[in-house]
């Protein structure tokens, strides 16, 4: 009975991978005479990069484009107007970048073939932006309902959604905030909880095969903004001892601080590298996981091009098996990256508020 259930689960997951991937595999098909060539790199990058439409199975859902230019002011229209590369209302889109080419619609290009035109201010709701809104919406639904349940069931054992998320909340509080920050942990706990659940839920959304291929935390801009939040909070809460260790490190020979401020340079590099470390760690790990899974599935289409349907079906067994294995690993990585980002943020806060006893 257990074997049968495992086999059924494997088949369902395989079908989900194949259905979802084949739905947008057409983006990487190039015509070469009578035979179409599959471009794996284009398909994979189309999935992991931000774009102006969402793929849910075979459906392509256009997103609203919001632009501001000096010539035309603020405008809003559907991304379907620009999806085929044709100019619309003076704008043209190439590789998900929008240019203003004028009412004539003539596209000027430089010697390298790139569009030579002004870029308007792009305030569009892209796939990543929609994924952020969806993540925030899920968080609000979960935690508002939990807060109401605690209010109604005060003093009673957690039930339902409370029992699912309370261990995670206590984990962030007791295993991350308290040990890393110390007695002032409560001041930073709301931020740490918010950033932990935002990263974790965003990562989990990106692992649902048929739900648009969101890559929220794998977007370097999103990761950078979260890292900057941590960086700014660290700066604002840094005490006298914290800044003293950066500007005039105690306990080291004077010649390392004056006339050549060697210790200051070392400490300052470590200081400004913190948001860079947070950004690259999250961005690289999440994006790499998506690329590896899609690369395994791409082997089916590559072998189909090279050896026909027999080659595609032959390699599909190993390809789907490795994809599902990596998918299981990514479930752990989704939690692990949320934990690491939150832990490092807590450690930075702890170093900023720590009191040092220099008398000893």
Do 80 and 205 belong to one domain? no
Average pLDDT over residues 31-60: 73
Mean pLDDT to the nearest integer, 258-287:
87
Note the pLDDT of residue 203: 92
Domain boundary among 124, 159, 193: 124
* 11: in domain: no
pLDDT at 348: 94
* Phi, psi for 35 (deg, rounded to 5): -115, 135
Phi, psi of 20, rounded to the nearest 5 degrees = -65, -45
Same domain assignment for residues 334 and 218: yes
pLDDT of res. 94:
83
Strand partners, 94: 97
Q: How many domains does the chain have?
A: 2
What DSSP designation does 270 have? Answer: H
Question: Residue 24's pLDDT is what?
Answer: 45
Same domain, 140 and 110: no
Q: What whole-number distance in Å separates Cα of residue 30 and Cα of residue 318?
A: 26
Nearest-angstrom CA–CA distance, 106 and 120: 17
Find the helix or strand (DSSP H, E) in which 233 lies: helix 220-237
Residue 111: which domain range?
A: 64-124
Domain assignment of residue 185, yes or no: yes
Tens-digit pLDDT profile for residues 101-153:
887 777 778 777 778 788 889 899 999 999 999 999 999 999 999 888 888 88
Specify the pairing of strand 53-56 against strand 59-62.
antiparallel
Q: Which pLDDT value is given to residue 138? A: 94
Q: For 142-187, write each residue's pLDDT tens digit.
A: 999 988 888 888 778 778 888 889 999 999 999 999 999 988 899 9
Residue 48 lies in a domain: no
Worst-scoring range by mean pLDDT, 17-21, 68-72, 173-177?
17-21
Residue 90 lies in a domain: yes
Instruction: Report which of residues 3 and 300 the model is more confident about.
Output: 300
Task: Name the DSSP class of 177.
Answer: I
Three-class secondary structure of residue 92 per DSSP: strand
Question: Could you tell me if residue 23 is inside a domain?
Answer: no
Decide if 32 is inside a domain: no
Same domain, 105 and 183: no
Phi/psi-derived region of residue 155, left when phi > 0, alpha when psi is between -120 and 50, beta in every other case:
left
Residues 80 and 144 in one domain: no
Task: Report whether pLDDT(18) > 60.
Answer: no
96 and 225 in a single domain? The answer is no
**Are the beta carbons of 87 and 101 closer than 8 angstroms?**
yes
- Residue 109, in any domain of the structure: yes
Mapping DSSP to helix (H, G, I), strand (E, B) and coil, where does residue 295 land? helix
Of 47 and 28, the structure prediction assigns the larger pLDDT to 47
Highest mean pLDDT among 13-17, 33-37, 58-62: 58-62
Q: Are residues 68 and 138 in the same domain?
A: no
Give the pLDDT confidence score for residue 302 in this predicted structure. 85
Residue 28 in contact with residue 46, Cβ under 8 Å?
A: yes
Q: Which of 52-61, 167-176, 223-232, 316-325 shows the lowest mean pLDDT across its residues?
A: 52-61
Examine the pLDDT at 358 and tell me if it is beyond 60: no
Residues 282 and 135 in one domain: yes
Return mean pLDDT, the chain: 82
Point out the domain boundary residue: 107, 124, 141: 124
Predicted local distance difference test score (pLDDT) of residue 200: 95
Q: Which of 76-80, 133-137, 241-245 has the lowest mean pLDDT?
A: 241-245
- Tell me: do 242 and 349 sit in the same domain: yes
pLDDT of the residue at 10: 45
Q: Do 108 and 226 have their domain in common?
A: no
- pLDDT (mean) for 234-262: 78
91 and 140 both lie in a single domain: no
My answer on whether 115 and 183 are in the same domain is no
pTM: 0.84
26 falls within a domain: no
**Which of 124, 148, 173 is a domain's end point?**
124
């Amino acid at each position: 009975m257990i074997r049968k259930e495992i086999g059924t689960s494997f088949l369902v997951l395989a079908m989900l991978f194949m259905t979802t991937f084949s739905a947008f595999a057409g983006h990487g098909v190039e015509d070469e005479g009578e035979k179409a060539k599959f471009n794996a790199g284009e398909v994979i990058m189309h999935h992991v990069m931000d774009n102006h439409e969402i793929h849910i199975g075979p459906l392509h859902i256009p997103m609203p484009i919001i632009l501001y230019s000096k010539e035309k002011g603020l405008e809003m229209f559907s991304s379907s107007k620009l999806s085929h590369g044709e100019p619309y209302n003076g704008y043209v889109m190439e590789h998900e970048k929008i240019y203003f080419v004028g009412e004539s619609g003539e596209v000027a290009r430089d010697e390298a073939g790139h569009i030579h035109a002004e870029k308007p201010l792009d305030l569009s709701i892209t796939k990543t932006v929609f994924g952020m809104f969806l993540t925030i919406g899920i968080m609000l639904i979960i935690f508002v309902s939990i807060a109401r349940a605690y209010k109604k069931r005060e003093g009673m054992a957690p039930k339902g959604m409370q029992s699912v998320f309370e261990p995670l909340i206590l984990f962030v509080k007791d295993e991350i905030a308290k040990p890393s920050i110390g007695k002032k942990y409560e001041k930073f706990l709301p931020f740490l909880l918010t950033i932990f659940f935002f990263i974790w839920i965003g990562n989990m959304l990106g692992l649902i095969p048929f739900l648009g291929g969101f890559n929220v935390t794998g977007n370097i801009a999103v990761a950078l903004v979260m890292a900057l939040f941590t960086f700014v909070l660290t700066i604002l809460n840094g005490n006298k001892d914290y800044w003293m260790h950066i500007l005039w490190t105690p306990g080291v020979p004077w010649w390392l601080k004056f006339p050549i401020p060697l210790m200051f340079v070392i400490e300052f590099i470590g200081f400004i590298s913190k948001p860079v470390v947070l950004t690259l760690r999250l961005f690289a790990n999440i994006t790499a996981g998506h690329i590896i899974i899609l690369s395994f599935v791409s082997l089916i289409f590559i072998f189909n091009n090279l050896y026909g349907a027999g080659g595609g079906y032959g390699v599909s067994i190993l390809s789907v098996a490795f994809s599902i294995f990596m998918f299981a690993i990514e479930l752990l990585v989704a939690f692990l990256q949320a934990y690491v980002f939150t832990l490092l943020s807590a450690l930075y806060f702890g170093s900023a508020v720590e009191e040092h006893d220099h008398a000893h």
